[in-house]
Amino acid sequence: MKKLFIVAIGLWAVTVMSVAGRERFVTAWNEGVGSLEVNGNGKGGAISWIEERGHVVVEFDLIEGWGGISRGGWERVTYRIVHCDENWEQSQLMEWEYMRGFQDLVVTEMESGKGTTVSYTHYSLSLPGEDVELQVSGNYAVQFFRETGEWLATCCFCLCEDGVAITGSVTGNTLKDTYSGSQQLDFSITTGKLGQGVMEKALQVTVYKNGRRDNAVRNVKPSAIANNRFDYVNLRELVFTAGNEFRRCEFLTPRGQGMRVEAIGLFEGLYHVTLTKDKPRQVYLYDRDMNGSFLINCLSCRFPSVEADYFFVHFRLASPLLTAGDVYLSGSFSGYAFNETNKMHYDTEQGCYEQYLLLKQGQYNYEYLYLPWGNDYALTAPIEGDFHQTENEYSIYVYYRPFGEKYDRLVAVQVIKK
């Protein structure tokens, strides 16, 4: 078996499907699923690399009373593993070709929340495990179900081979503008163990910025090919809007104010956190953010996964009404999804956008994205601004499918930071 690495693509609680040849993830999780995340070997970050004997860990909570979840959040949860092609459609492989083990197994690692105002049960699944072994590289989706068969969520991750190298850089000097609001990504792929004579059409390259999928660039073609090296340099499709640093907030205790917390109080037995009112940003603001990630944490607790409580967190954005589109909260915690849960609603009397979410105690990165009606690509410029100095993460995925192969092998992944 080839030496493989596991790459966690962050939290995408989604239905896996393809629309018009483009990758599209439709958020459809049960509202009782909270704090869903996938990490490589328990490590955070947008991409986690694990050596052959490593694993990914999927964690989530089932919250009592939400989405029909039973008392205390106790449910019999089963899971299935699906192998996907590079478009995130189910691949042609039969189950026995991509895994050893059984489907519809029960998630057995679970523990009730301790001393919290919101009752929940925490679930954890490690893959590969004693009952499941993955056989080939590529894209995988783990689907979770209730005992009734109701679909709960899907988490996506990748299993990556080694032996192919990617080097690259990011600059503010782009084909679109010079040190203004854009960033240019340039990179090269050395085919390494794939050997000489790799055909261009056998390689498929996808690039993500900060884990967002709406701005993914797919099927990138090289600007030059020499021997076993493919160069992707000075390509207009690899010019990205730069955005701004993510905003941050934290609420680690109900007994004191955290970062950007204006007020916190207990109402009808549940904690509500009101964040300081945000404003559109006209200048670049440096901050040591987590590029959209979140971290579950709480003060004076040893095991945040079961000791952290859930708070209703109220977000507010002071802004004139944007009449040609909608504003969404975005970040890893939201699955980067454009749905009603993450959509901001405008209060004409207050002159601001508002939304509240039930979030587990911790530290969160977020931003406000503007999605023009009829578009599937959200903009940072109207609210966050675009500044070439912004520190972003660009994730490059290289798939290889030679003639006659039944599936897309994932042969390289690289994260390049500005």
Sorted by where each starts, the structural domains of the chain and their CATH numbers stand as 4-161 (2.60.40), 165-242+392-417 (2.60.40), 248-372 (2.60.40)
Counted residue by residue, the chain has a size of: 418
Flag whether the pTM goes above 0.85.
yes
Stretches where the chain sits below pLDDT 50 are: 1, 11-28, 41-51
- Residue 288: φ, ψ to 5°: -85, 80
* Pairing of the two strands 182-190 and 165-171: antiparallel
Contact 286, 246 (CB under 8 A): no
3-state class percentages of the chain: helix first, strand second, coil last, to nearest 5: 5, 50, 45
Measured distance CA(154)–CA(12) in Å, rounded: 7
Measured distance CA(143)–CA(9) in Å, rounded: 15
The confidence score (pLDDT) of residue 303 equals: 97
Q: 377-382 — which CB contacts under 8 Å span 24+ positions?
A: 377/214, 377/215, 378/212, 378/214, 378/215, 378/328, 378/330, 378/338, 379/241, 380/241, 380/242, 380/243, 380/244, 381/181, 381/241, 382/280, 382/322
Alpha helices in 34-165 (DSSP H): 95-98
Task: Convert the pLDDT of each residue in 204-213 to its tens digit.
Answer: 999 999 988 8
The confidence score (pLDDT) of residue 323 equals: 93
One-letter identity of residue 330: S
The confidence score (pLDDT) of residue 18 equals: 36
The confidence score (pLDDT) of residue 49 equals: 42
Task: Convert the pLDDT of each residue in 103-116 to its tens digit.
Answer: 999 999 999 999 99
Q: Is 346 exposed, middle or buried (0-12, 13-18, 19+ CB in 10 A)?
A: middle
The confidence score (pLDDT) of residue 16 equals: 46
| 202: region left, alpha or beta (phi > 0 left; psi from -120 to 50 alpha) | alpha
The confidence score (pLDDT) of residue 70 equals: 87
Measured distance CA(297)–CA(371) in Å, rounded: 31
